[in-house]
Structure 1
Amino acid sequence: MSQYTLASELATISGRPTITRDLVARWERGHQIPRAGTRQWLSVVLQVPREQLDIAAAAARRRSRLGHAVVTENAPAQPGHARRAQGTPPLLPMFRSRVQGGILAATLLNPDRSFSLTELAEHAGASLASVDKENKLLERAGLLTSRREGTIRLMRAADQHGALIGPLTELMRLTYGVPQIVGEEFGSVPGVARIALGGIWADRFAGIPGPEPDGIELLIATPPGKTPDEHALSVAAQRAEQRLKRPLTFTTVPLDPDLDTLQIPHQRPGHPVVEVAAIRPRSVPRPSDVELDGRDTIHHLIHAGQLEMIGGPGANGRPFLDLAAKHIASAERIGENAPDSTFILLSQAAQLIGSSLLAQQGLRASMNAAEHVVGTAVTAQFGHQFSQIELLRRRSRELDVPTSRDSHVTPAEVSTYLRTVRTLLATATHLAEKIGLFS
């Protein structure tokens, strides 16, 4: 349910037009606690027991009095300190504000999606006005682009081939991207209830000046009586280390429901602990029961910056396969009448099929990757059948030059490649059920 929808339903059912989307946003960011009367209507709309909301409100008040906060993504380290977030951020002091860092982390680390101003405000832990101001500056600089859907303005990372985008994305991944990457990797492990970040990174994030963080310290809280799989935690730690390019240590403890804030062992008294949202994937990738060749090729492409690791909802190949199936269906309908257009659709479907297998492994082509990377990576792991991905891509590029003698395809080519791409789709669908995260 969006903030607009929740506000609208609350206003309707309570008869209070003063309940607006901005008010809901303040509740979500922890800047305000819903009053008792409002909580009663919230329990009706959200179908949550009133008592549960009252307990949460009491806990929020205690945290506010103690100076603690639960931080999700890139929210401020302490409630009520939105103004402090505008100052020079010790985590990456060349930026004008921590708000700017939060916006860039959200957009550059998720280049395939758009964000509303409200979503970016949640990531950056700032007001809508502050986020709007920073967005306009970043758009003027060519780092973000915007579009409108009705009355909502959506922002996303600019063209991925821009000269600044790749290096800037790497900076954001190593600094403000830490909560997202940790949340993605450990959020995919069943049995992880809460995650807290401590150490020097948490100090810098909270605004305490000092040296650059040289490692990441985690505390993983698990439900009483439930122990996460040690191998799954090790894979999550290994992938997070590779993505963050710094060592990571973690400790697991049983979850104490009476604790408002988790505390990292050996954390210095008075130093902040940043609690991170566990970003759950749409479906948890199964452990691999496919013996993958080409691991050296994948490691080489990762170290060369051609492939990057992803987690959370992005580590899901199903949407790619679904879109590839739609492309193939469209190609079948127009095949005889427009063979060139049909061939381009088939080439795009093949790329999507390759991207699906990479996504299922928690991989994707990086911002500055060469065009052949998807085909190369998939062929190295799953066999020569997938070399058709690169062959189709090369052939479709010839169609981009209408004056070339190779700029047209024959109906026979189209008929053959329809069968080829259908077979690739069936094979990839079967493989997707058997492969897990690459590590």
Structure 2
Amino acid sequence: MKVSPVLLPILRSRMQGELLALVLLHPEREYSLTELAADLGVTPTAVLREVDRLTGGGILTDRRVGRSRLVRARTDTPLYRPLSDLMAVSFGPMPLLTEALAELEGAQRAYIYGSWAARYSGEPGPPPADVDVLVVGDPDADALFDLAEAVSRRLHREVNVHRVPAEAWEARTDDPFLTSVRERPLVQLNLAPEAQ
């Protein structure tokens, strides 16, 4: 039996939330079913079933190019704006932070931790008020602050970013902050481009 995701219990599954967030928060893009499956870490068959439901419901639109089926958000319906806002505040941190941090020089890895990661992992509790992000590496502090501010505006909630050098993250430590972060749920963001 599938359990509704704690982040937004009106959805059928976490995969549905991740797919909607990815596509609705990037309305200018088209995604192939294979690309969606790879981005979400699920089978193409699972994506196909969900895309069929969402195109049938008028939330997504699709077209065929050769053997590929390309999907994008349908922005011409009254559902688009409120649904994309709902996806931004619930499942939006993953695609928006991944996109922003992947282009930030010096960011080697990144994790969401805290209450958002706990809800994403299925721990019950109130909706997260903010999003806590740990960036491993040595990105410019001002650039990281600006990035957090920009993503905060899109998510309609505060994004708190903590930067830690790779050596400190990988080492055994008694640092209370790092110990606390490691003991709780972590959601790793995939910052590596597909080609690598």
Give the TM-score of the pair, scaled to structure 2.
Answer: 0.85
Deviation at 1:264, TM superposition (A): 6.5
Counterpart residue identity of residue 103, structure 1: L
Q: 1:152 to 1:90 in 2, by over 3 A?
A: same
2:105 to 176, 182, 190: 190
What is residue 148 of structure 2 aligned with on the other side? 237
Aligned partners of 2:102 and 2:49: how far apart in 1?
Answer: 32
Counterpart residue identity of residue 277, structure 1: N
Aligned partners of 2:178 and 2:129: how far apart in 1?
Answer: 18
8 Å contact from structure 1 (residues 198, 267) kept in 2: no
After the TM superposition, which residues 365-404 of structure 1 pair with which residues of structure 2 at under 5 Å, given as runs?
none
Structure 1 residues not aligned, in runs of 5+: 1-83, 281-439
What is residue 180 of structure 1 aligned with on the other side? 95
8 Å contact from structure 1 (residues 191, 228) kept in 2: yes
Counterpart residue identity of residue 115, structure 1: Y
8 Å contact from structure 2 (residues 117, 186) kept in 1: yes
Q: 1:274 to 1:264 in 2, by over 3 A?
A: farther
Helix, strand or coil: the match of 1:129? Answer: helix
**After the TM superposition, which parts of structure 1 deviate over 4 Å for at least 4 consecutive aligned residues?**
none
After the TM superposition, which residues 214-293 of structure 1 pair with which residues of structure 2 at under 5 Å, given as runs?
214-222=129-137, 227-256=138-167, 259=170, 265=178, 267=180, 270-278=183-191
What is residue 103 of structure 1 aligned with on the other side? 19
Is 1:112 the counterpart of 2:28? The answer is: yes
Deviation at 1:258, TM superposition (A): 8.7
Is 1:134 the counterpart of 2:45? The answer is: no
Deviation at 1:146, TM superposition (A): 1.4
8 Å contact from structure 1 (residues 179, 276) kept in 2: yes
Q: 1:235 to 1:185 in 2, by over 3 A?
A: same
Structure 2 residues not aligned, in runs of 5+: none
Aligned partners of 1:91 and 1:165: how far apart in 2?
Answer: 19
What is residue 72 of structure 2 aligned with on the other side? 156
Counterpart residue identity of residue 163, structure 2: T
8 Å contact from structure 1 (residues 103, 120) kept in 2: yes
Q: 1:274 to 1:161 in 2, by over 3 A?
A: same
Q: 1:264 to 1:110 in 2, by over 3 A?
A: farther
Deviation at 1:155, TM superposition (A): 1.3
Question: Where is the helix percentage greater, Structure 1 or Structure 2?
Answer: 1
Helix, strand or coil: the match of 1:126? Answer: coil
Is 1:201 the counterpart of 2:147? The answer is: no
Aligned partners of 1:264 and 1:145: how far apart in 2?
Answer: 45
Q: 1:228 to 1:210 in 2, by over 3 A?
A: same
Aligned partners of 1:264 and 1:97: how far apart in 2?
Answer: 32
Q: Higher relative CO (CA 8 A, sep ≥ 6), structure 1 or 2?
A: 2
Aligned partners of 2:149 and 2:134: how far apart in 1?
Answer: 16
Q: 1:119 to 1:271 in 2, by over 3 A?
A: same
Q: 1:258 to 1:109 in 2, by over 3 A?
A: closer
Residues 276-296 of structure 1: CA deviation (Å, up to 9, x unaligned): 12378xxxxxxxxxxxxxxxx
What is residue 59 of structure 2 aligned with on the other side? 143
Give the TM-score of the pair, scaled to structure 1.
Answer: 0.40
Counterpart residue identity of residue 53, structure 2: L
Helix, strand or coil: the match of 2:61? Answer: strand
Deviation at 1:221, TM superposition (A): 0.9
After the TM superposition, which residues 285-434 of structure 1 pair with which residues of structure 2 at under 5 Å, given as runs?
none
When the two chains are superposed, the root-mean-square deviation of aligned CA atoms in Å is: 2.5
What is residue 58 of structure 1 aligned with on the other side? none
What is residue 170 of structure 1 aligned with on the other side? 85
Larger radius of gyration: 1
8 Å contact from structure 2 (residues 133, 162) kept in 1: yes
Question: Where is the strand percentage greater, Structure 1 or Structure 2?
Answer: 2
**Total equivalences in the alignment:** 189
Aligned partners of 2:32 and 2:55: how far apart in 1?
Answer: 14
Residues 329-383 of structure 1: CA deviation (Å, up to 9, x unaligned): xxxxxxxxxxxxxxxxxxxxxxxxxxxxxxxxxxxxxxxxxxxxxxxxxxxxxxx
